[in-house]
Structure 1
């Protein structure tokens, strides 16, 4: 399986990451990726860039070194109703939004399965969200059987996050369950690295191994096909309004 896009990455604008935007794009070009999404953290993450960073992403060319560069954000889920820290002015202009739970931005110290299920069900209703980020986190387990089909129904891509295999190892059993249910319910997924340094852009070794173990259908992996990924963007992303993208 050939993965053609990496749509969850961070630059030095997220101050716990270590590469510039141009370094991330160059790494994607070296890996011969079709696309990369730059998704620095929303403002509730300590050290995150502010509103003007995301509003000014319009100055970034959508094509650099032959790579499609999506202007994005990893927005933080900030309340028990599925509220996020995506600025309203950015919601309709950014190309790509990943929604994730991070403990430093999330208010509940001892969440129940029922509470997190409600959070994700509300996220599924949010028309600005494209990707459900690293939702296998053990501390924030939810009713996978209920929520996964809803993600599929509302056009959300369920992320298999390569970073979970090294930085969130306790979440791996849940990641496997989630992938099994995506297969069962024919819910599209996306593989992402969550890279915080250019060296790991486009590296999907552990994720691909898990999909092989599960005999996961390639046709459900949106970023395993340029045509499939391009079609998703045309239907769901603000980039569809960019004349340069339309001409491709």
Structure 2
């Protein structure tokens, strides 16, 4: 778990510009491509990231809400979860190769088991983790609640990495959205795969356990 924190700091240092203003919220005309008949509602017109692979995909109708504050809240939540997922996915891989020399981290190759082990053997450490999460959430929310603050803007760019060119900045925002969305799927997949196969992501690759069906490893 400590190695996840180290990996997280490394990722934050490398992508710090993701935590500054995530504007403009809305860009030019959204190009529509053929896709599922689940058109975006009024709240999604021109939303950054709405013109990607499935430009008409909103099966739950979140963008039918026309309240700008609600749409901004949705976008801020998406960015937050994407950022956390990117850190978590990196931590899953990093801790398979490195962890602190403490017996409580002996399950580092299996992140879900490692979390359960820390909870069982060091409950106060879990409390510290939860307090740190709460502190980060409170600080971030305090920044996000400022009047006129763009979704995802945490006023944090110590290395001054935000590009000054608007076109480049828009590409950075789209890149963050796509990577965050992929990471949310990836971290969910990591946990599911570990519970089905009994192996962590890197451990599974080394064991040649690529297919979970019929190879004598895992539930299938």
Q: Output the TM-score relative to the length of structure 2.
A: 0.24
Is the radius of gyration larger for structure 1 or structure 2? Answer: 2
Normalized per residue, the structure richer in strand is 1
Normalized per residue, the structure richer in helix is 2
Where relative contact order (Cα < 8 A, 6+ residues apart) is larger, the structure is 2
Q: Output the TM-score relative to the length of structure 1.
A: 0.22
